[in-house]
Chains A and B, each alone.
Chain A
Amino acid sequence: MSVNGDRPYTADEMMAVEAARRLDDSTVCFVGIGLPSLAANLARRTHAPGCTLIYESGTIGAKPMRLPLSIGDGELAETADAVVSVPEMFAYWLQGGRIDVGFLGAAQLDRHGNLNSTVIGDYDHPSVRLPGGGGAPEIALGVRDVFVMLRQSPRAFVERLDFTTSLGDNVRVVVTDLGILEPGDGELTLVAVHPGTTVDEARAATGWELRVADEIRETVPPTDEELAALRALETKGRSSGTA
């Protein structure tokens, strides 16, 4: 995790908190490993204990005590309301339209919220072969709201994707380490910056001419309660060792 000036929280923590605040007690969300899992579990520990966490391994209603290191950790199955097969997960639950929010990350994002998690460079002769889309193509179109969590830099926020893995049609928010982007008039617009960040910094970290809202908000820093819950989760995650 990076340091964040002299503020008592990291950029990742700010991102997790901002994403968590967008989930409520009735949200059914499809969660990946990393920041999305941190955000969704934080929501469950703070303002949204009823939030339903679904991991693509087939665990529905998982309630892990510690952050899982993989989407198929045993604790997810042990604490879930139901465990279903992978074909059932994608057919009945995702395609069935039963999931409200899907979190996605990527290596690259464009101004329309399209994402690349497939290759950097040419597909047949890539300079970097990335893991690939996994569940992303159908998550992107199968859930009501897509939340993207991605650190902002000119390498990641690009004018043109090297490969379009998933479409941005349902992207409702992009939470970055600098601020918040939301779609407006067909392209992502900077609507908020995190405390201590300027609009110019966000512009400089974007590989296209970033559209900025007329009135920019400043996000609310993590509260003591949010930070305590977050760190309890992180500590448990790290100390789980060979869990």
Chain B
Amino acid sequence: MSVVSLREAVSELVRDGDVVALEGFTHLIPNAAGHEIVRQRRRDLTLIRMTPDVIYDQLIGMGCARKLVFSWGGNPGVGSLHRLRDAVEHGWPQPLELEEHSHAGMAAAYAAGAANLPFGVLRGYRGGDLPSRTRVGVVVCPFTGEALAAVPAHRPDVGIVHAQQADRHGNVQLWGIAGVQKETVLASARSIVTVEEIVDEFEPRPNAVVLPGWTVDAISLVPGGAHPSYAAGYYDRDNEFYVAWDPISRDRETFAAWMKRHVLDTADAAEYRASLAAEVTAA
């Protein structure tokens, strides 16, 4: 584990063509890391995420992705992801291959990856049209004969998550809604964790997940790095941003101008936040 700038972490660890999972379940979404991938213009990524939201809309719209592995792609509480839809419906800015699962299947696939198993097993994918459109198989229980669904394990090249804290030894602690972040880091060949704060020693927290430093490749200090998602104990979810994203993302040119102004033309997460704040002040 090393503590490096996010620019350095992405430059070293995320390569064109990689399978990359940036996970977060409403809470602790690694938005700043996604922006850095856009700034460094990574291409042909296979993006994995249970709930691709605004940051995946941005990565897809900026042409970073060739494939998306997911179970629910939307703007939570608002509606569609317009860049995702444009890629799927019109192939803009490039076609996007989909591998679609259910939440239960994605969760089982991450857990299997973390456990170094080739597949996850669950009682799922029964009936309906999804099984014929995705990678799922059937295994028979050797003890009861029950037929169960098998989903191939997620083994990302790079897993990226955001956490509240790292300590001075490089251990990572996150708390609150923990999603699949632990599984993502443990399933991935390489991992990046952005954190709100680096502290001397952790205080015990309810529902804390601790990732020992030796399970993580790079830690980057990025206060506010989850915005517009939230970090419990640090800042709230910017619900207004998610609503504002809808009209920005509907139009290709408005989207491109927004990304240029706030992401491509900013050097890092701090400048991104300042750029957004300046826009709000001007309005």
User: What residues make up the interface of A, taking CB atoms closer than 8 Å to B?
Assistant: 33-34, 56-59, 69-74, 76-77, 83, 85-87, 89-91, 94-95, 114, 118, 123, 125-138, 141-142, 163-167, 240-243
Contact A58 B125 (CB under 8 A): no
CA gap between A72 and B180 in the complex, in Å: 13
Given contacts A87-B110, A132-B74, A242-B238, 16 further A-B contacts (CB under 8 A): A57-B25, A74-B230, A74-B236, A83-B178, A86-B25, A87-B180, A87-B183, A91-B108, A118-B130, A131-B80, A133-B130, A137-B124, A138-B103, A138-B122, A141-B127, A164-B129
Q: When A72-B27, A90-B108, A129-B88 are in contact, do A85 and B71 touch as well, CB less than 8 Å?
A: no
- B25: A residues at CB distance < 8 A: 57-58, 72, 86
CA gap between A10 and B74 in the complex, in Å: 27
CA gap between A85 and B177 in the complex, in Å: 7
User: What residues make up the interface of B, taking CB atoms closer than 8 Å to A?
Assistant: 25-27, 50-51, 70-74, 76-77, 80-81, 84-85, 88-89, 100, 102-104, 107-108, 110-111, 122-130, 133, 176-180, 182-183, 206-207, 209, 230, 232, 236-240
Contact A131 B72 (CB under 8 A): yes
Contact B103 A242 (CB under 8 A): no
Within 8 Å by CB of A94, from B104, B180, B207, B230, lies B104
Contact B89 A133 (CB under 8 A): no
Across the interface, name the chain A residue whose C-beta is closest to B229: A72
Q: When A72-B177, A138-B103 are in contact, do A242 and B130 touch as well, CB less than 8 Å?
A: no
Main secondary structure, interface of A, reads loop
- A164: B residues at CB distance < 8 A: 127-129
Contact A132 B237 (CB under 8 A): no
Contact B122 A242 (CB under 8 A): no
- B129: A residues at CB distance < 8 A: 118, 123, 163-165
Across the interface, name the chain B residue whose C-beta is closest to A82: B207
Within 8 Å by CB of A85, from B122, B125, B182, lies B182
CA gap between A243 and B237 in the complex, in Å: 6
B15 to chain A, nearest CB (A): 28
- A135: B residues at CB distance < 8 A: 71-72, 102-104
CA gap between A132 and B76 in the complex, in Å: 12
Complex A-B: 24 CB contacts under 8 Å: A57-B27, A58-B178, A58-B179, A70-B26, A71-B76, A72-B27, A73-B237, A74-B232, A83-B177, A85-B180, A86-B50, A87-B107, A90-B103, A91-B104, A95-B123, A118-B129, A132-B72, A132-B100, A133-B103, A134-B51, A134-B71, A134-B72, A135-B103, A242-B238
Within 8 Å by CB of A74, from B125, B182, B237, lies B237
Q: When A57-B27, A123-B133 are in contact, do A74 and B176 touch as well, CB less than 8 Å?
A: yes
- A126: B residues at CB distance < 8 A: 88-89
Q: When A87-B111, A129-B84, A243-B236 are in contact, do A165 and B26 touch as well, CB less than 8 Å?
A: no
